[in-house]
Amino acid sequence: MKKITILVSGSGTNLQRIIDCIEANEIQNAKINLVVADRECFGLERAAKHQIDNVLIPRGKAFSDELDKIIPKDTDLIILAGFLSILKSDFCQKWDKKMINIHPSLLPKFGGKGMWGHHVHEAVIEAKEKESGATVHYVTSGVDEGDIILQGKVALDEKETAESLAQKIHLVEYEIFPKAINKVLNP
Ligand code: GRF
């Protein structure tokens, strides 16, 4: 059984999807050993509801070191599922190729510092892109720069708003995230 720690900052619908896929055996050979949030958020409640250990480490300079102290030593994979803090580079190096993130654009486009949530979708619409999507990638110390594992695309409508685009992209995320996790855990 591979052990996964999941990091969240928000509503945690991707976390929920991962929990559901593990329960339905759509993600095989996996168990969530811990959910960590960097702020109060609904993701923690989702974990608690499924009897998954969960902890809040307040965001800030000490976050990566605190996480390093509490993360179970036998963790096989760290998954960032809507996680907003930037992790220290030595932490990223320690978990090289054992930490993945989901980003709501077709990286390398619209990634990097400050490109999160509605900022991404607004920039995509402003740039008059015809398509956008989601990317699952390995985490490195360069924000949103690690190797790409899987991408999914959506077409933009003429009247697309940041909200409507976010909704469409979430659906793509629910498709590609479990597939990417399976690919990494069970190659
Ligand atoms: C997703 O769009 C993900 O790509 C981004 O943050 C959002 C998290 O959504 N990194 P949720 O909390 O899983 O609903």
Q: Quote the domain boundaries for residue 84.
A: 2-185
Q: How many domains does the chain have?
A: 1
pLDDT at residue 174 in the model:
98
Distances (CA, A) of 105 to 60, 71, 85: 26, 29, 18
Q: Which CATH number is 105's domain given?
A: 3.40.50.170
pLDDT at residue 45 in the model:
98
The answer to whether the beta carbons of residues 144 and 111 sit under 8 Å apart is: yes
Residue 119 a catalytic site member: no
Q: Are strands 54-56 and 30-37 parallel, antiparallel or unpaired?
A: parallel
* Closest Cα to atom 10 of ligand 1: 82
One digit per residue, pLDDT tens: the chain, 187 residues? 999 999 999 999 999 999 999 999 999 999 999 999 999 999 999 999 999 999 999 999 999 999 999 999 999 999 999 999 999 999 999 999 999 999 999 999 999 999 999 999 999 999 999 999 999 999 999 999 999 999 999 999 999 999 999 999 999 999 999 999 999 999 9
* Distance, CA of 55 to CA of 72 (rounded, Å): 13
Instruction: Tell me the average pLDDT of the chain.
Output: 98
Q: Are strands 148-155 and 131-138 parallel, antiparallel or unpaired?
A: antiparallel
Residue written as token pair 């985490």: 139
pLDDT at residue 33 in the model:
98
DSSP letters along 123-166, please? HHHHTT-SEEEEEEEE--SSTT-SPEEEEEEEEPPTT--HHHHH
* Closest Cα to atom 12 of ligand 1: 12
Q: Is 101 annotated as a binding residue?
A: yes
Q: b vs e for 94-131, b when ≥16 Cβ sit within 10 Å of the residue's Cβ? A: ebeeebbbbbbbbbebbbeeebbeeebbebbbeeebee
The answer to whether the beta carbons of residues 114 and 73 sit under 8 Å apart is: no
The answer to whether the beta carbons of residues 81 and 18 sit under 8 Å apart is: yes
pLDDT at residue 106 in the model:
98
Tell how far the Cα of 44 is from the centroid of ligand 1, in angstroms. Answer: 14
**What atom of ligand 1 comes closest to residue 81's alpha carbon?**
13
Q: Which helix (H) or strand (E) holds 171?
A: helix 162-185
* Distance, CA of 104 to CA of 114 (rounded, Å): 13
